[in-house]
Amino acid sequence: MTHAARLWRPVGCRLGEGPLWHIAEQRLYWTDIEGRRLWRAGLSDSAPECLLAGETVGGFVFLANGGLRVYMDQGRVADLVQGNLTAVTTLTDETSRFNDLIATPGGGVIAGTMAQSDRRGTLYHLRSDGTTLTLLTDLGCTNGLGFSPNRTRLYYIETLSRTIFTASYTVETDAIGAFEPWRETADLPGYPDGMTVDGEGALWVAFWEGSQLVQFAPDGAITAQIAVPTPRVTSAAFGGPDLRTLFITTAGGPDSPGAGDLYLVDLPVGGIPEAILPV
């Protein structure tokens, strides 16, 4: 089945990424990493609201107190609450910026960093007790993360190898097992980027330079595609009143019409509420 995404917000992000739907607020949050802006907007809002400017935010998660925990460059992590940015921690040996992350159902955060000329990317597990575990190293480009509906599997995308990996997950201990390849995507145009998981366990994967999102069933079969009218499709998140609207971020900037705008499509399947980090 093929769906067509339609324009929602002509925002012209340089690198739109990390969309998350806030159920209580009924708003979509997203970051423009290279534009150094963090945004939010509701379906009926007249214009998006800029929440943070001048910081390179690779991703964020929602906090139980209504704020955000933002993951920036140079391994910096901070809380954004009512417009105030407060440092939480810094990964002292990390010189890159964060790139895609997810709050775990067990109270932690899994976050990846970008590769640089002198070092490769790393996937970290920042646990609720304050410890940081290194899950994977020597990565080309860390990207999409998502949990299965029953919270027993974690999916992770390594973009440059065009591979989706999976690992077991245990909520009670916030423990992640060994990663193993789940689905190669070299048979598809572009590179797998961000992703989200629907309520039936299928993965919706954005394809950078592929002009589409692809739905992969739990067995890896392709079951649907969403055509997006710009090539650099970066990520997606389910939202709307019934979580059946898929919001799509793209990259490209204001000099390329349609590139960097936000798109949406209504689907017959709904999403999974995002985990909220306790504080």
Active site residues: 193
- The length of the chain is 279
Answer whether 162's CB lies under 8 Å from 111's CB.
Answer: no
Instruction: For the beta carbon of residue 153, count every other beta carbon within 10 angstroms.
Output: 18
Task: Please give the Cα distance from 123 to 116 (Å, whole number).
Answer: 14
Structure tokens at 193: 């980027």
Q: How are strands ordered across the β-sheet holding 59-62?
A: 59-62, 68-71, 76-81, 84-90
Instruction: For the beta carbon of residue 206, count every other beta carbon within 10 angstroms.
Output: 29
Q: Which long-range contacts (CB under 8 A, 24 or more apart) does 121-126 make?
A: 121/96, 122/94, 123/156, 124/91, 125/176, 126/77, 126/89
Task: Please give the Cα distance from 48 to 176 (Å, whole number).
Answer: 36
